[in-house]
């Protein structure tokens, strides 16, 4: 099957997935490029393969549609067009008794959130909880920054106060990151299960959320007081790695 019309209902739907609201309502999002599609396929997260003219479907077990050049260009968000996209859903990954959790409080930059997801996965963390006002983790820039890691870790978006209270009831120690009244990272004992709270790029972790934390920690540095949140996440994930 080949689609050549820009007014085709399916084409309009795929284009609509560029908007956060539509992705959330539909429960679907797009990924582009061989690597991301391969990662999505590996976790059974692909609903449909979209191919450019002349491209063979490398996953014949999954339904595919061929798009004309103008339609492929309309659906794609990449400046340099590839030849394969996929309509995906987030795999319903659920980790029982997670030992290492990252909590993101109002992270706004897609590159930062994507890097946090990728780093958390690399260091053996089990789950990431994002506040309702975080950047959407199915944002195309977030997805590209994760390099496919979002398909390999449990991701949840919910009210953080509720999430933290639920974690504490189940015996998870919640550790907030801040520069004020905090223990140095080198003085913190590795205790699991635990959850690390990372804050907004400009404002850090909100006071409301810090007040719910069992402990507050900071990363010691010799000059600058604060670090980029994605860099801080890397240091913390390495320290508390699996």
Residue with tokens 């582009």: 32
Structural domain span for residue 195 = 100-239
Tokens of 31: 């990924």
Asked whether residue 95 is domain-assigned, the answer is no
Contact 148, 171 (CB under 8 A): no
Last residue of a domain, one of 61, 88, 115: 88
Mean pLDDT of 149-171: 96
What's the pLDDT at 90? 83
Q: Tens digit of pLDDT for each residue in 197-220? A: 999 999 999 999 999 999 999 998
Asked whether residue 210 is domain-assigned, the answer is yes
Asked whether residue 52 is domain-assigned, the answer is yes
**Least confident span in 34-48, 53-67, 76-90:** 76-90
Whether residue 181 sits in one domain with residue 104: yes
Whether residue 106 sits in one domain with residue 179: yes
Last residue of a domain, one of 64, 88, 112: 88
How many helices (H) does the chain have, and how many strands (E)? 9, 12
Asked whether residue 64 is domain-assigned, the answer is yes
Mean pLDDT of 177-192: 91
Q: How far apart are CA 95 and CA 98, in angstroms?
A: 6
Tokens of 168: 């504490």
**Least confident span in 24-28, 93-97, 108-112:** 93-97
- Using CA atoms, how far residue 137 sits from 77, 114, 123, in Å, is 16, 7, 19
Whether residue 39 sits in one domain with residue 105: no
Helix (H) or strand (E) holding 26: helix 20-26
Whether residue 193 sits in one domain with residue 81: no
Asked whether residue 114 is domain-assigned, the answer is yes
What CATH number is given to the structural domain containing 7?
Answer: 3.30.1330.30
Whether residue 160 sits in one domain with residue 219: yes
Phi/psi at 154 (5° precision):
-70, 130
Residue-wise burial string across 141-154, b where 16 or more C-beta atoms lie within 10 A, e elsewhere: ebbbbbbbbbbbbb
Whether residue 128 sits in one domain with residue 82: no
- The answer to whether residue 223 scores a pLDDT higher than 70 is no
Last residue of a domain, one of 88, 117, 146: 88
Q: How far apart are CA 231 and CA 46, in angstroms?
A: 31
**Dihedral of the alpha carbons of 100, 25, 106, 38, in degrees to the nearest 10:** 50
Number of domains in the chain: 2
Whether residue 105 sits in one domain with residue 73: no
Whether residue 79 sits in one domain with residue 8: yes
**Least confident span in 1-15, 78-92, 102-116:** 78-92
Whether residue 194 sits in one domain with residue 126: yes
pLDDT band of 226, cuts 50, 70, 90: confident
Q: Tens digit of pLDDT for each residue in 117-137? A: 999 999 999 999 999 999 999
What CATH number is given to the structural domain containing 205?
Answer: 3.40.1280.10
Q: How far apart are CA 124 and CA 182, in angstroms?
A: 25
Rounded (5°) CA angle 152-199-110 = 50
What's the pLDDT at 224? 61
Phi/psi at 111 (5° precision):
-65, -40
pLDDT band of 1, cuts 50, 70, 90: confident
Whether residue 121 sits in one domain with residue 84: no
Whether residue 175 sits in one domain with residue 119: yes
Asked whether residue 94 is domain-assigned, the answer is no
């Amino acid at each position: 099957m080949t689609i050549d019309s820009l007014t085709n209902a399916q084409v309009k739907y795929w284009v609509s997935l560029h908007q956060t609201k539509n992705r959330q309502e539909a429960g679907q999002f797009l990924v582009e490029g061989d690597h991301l599609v391969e990662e999505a396929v590996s976790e059974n997260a692909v609903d449909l393969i979209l191919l450019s003219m002349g491209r063979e479907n490398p996953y014949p077990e999954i339904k595919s549609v061929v798009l004309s050049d103008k339609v492929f260009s309309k659906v794609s968000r990449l400046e340099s067009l590839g030849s394969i996209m996929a309509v995906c859903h987030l795999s319903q990954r659920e980790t029982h008794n997670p030992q290492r959790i990252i909590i993101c409080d109002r992270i706004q930059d897609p590159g930062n959130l994507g890097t946090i997801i990728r780093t958390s996965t690399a260091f053996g963390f089990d789950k990431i909880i994002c506040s309702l006002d975080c950047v959407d983790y199915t944002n195309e820039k977030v997805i590209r920054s994760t390099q496919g890691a979002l398909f390999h870790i449990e991701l949840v978006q919910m009210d953080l106060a509720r999430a933290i209270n639920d974690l504490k009831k189940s015996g998870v120690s919640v550790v907030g990151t801040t520069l004020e009244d905090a223990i140095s990272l080198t003085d913190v004992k590795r205790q699991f299960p635990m959850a690390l709270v990372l804050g907004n790029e400009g404002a850090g972790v909100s006071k409301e959320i810090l007040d719910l934390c069992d402990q507050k920690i900071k990363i010691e540095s010799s000059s600058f007081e604060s670090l980029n949140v994605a860099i801080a996440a890397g240091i913390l994930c390495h320290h508390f790695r699996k």
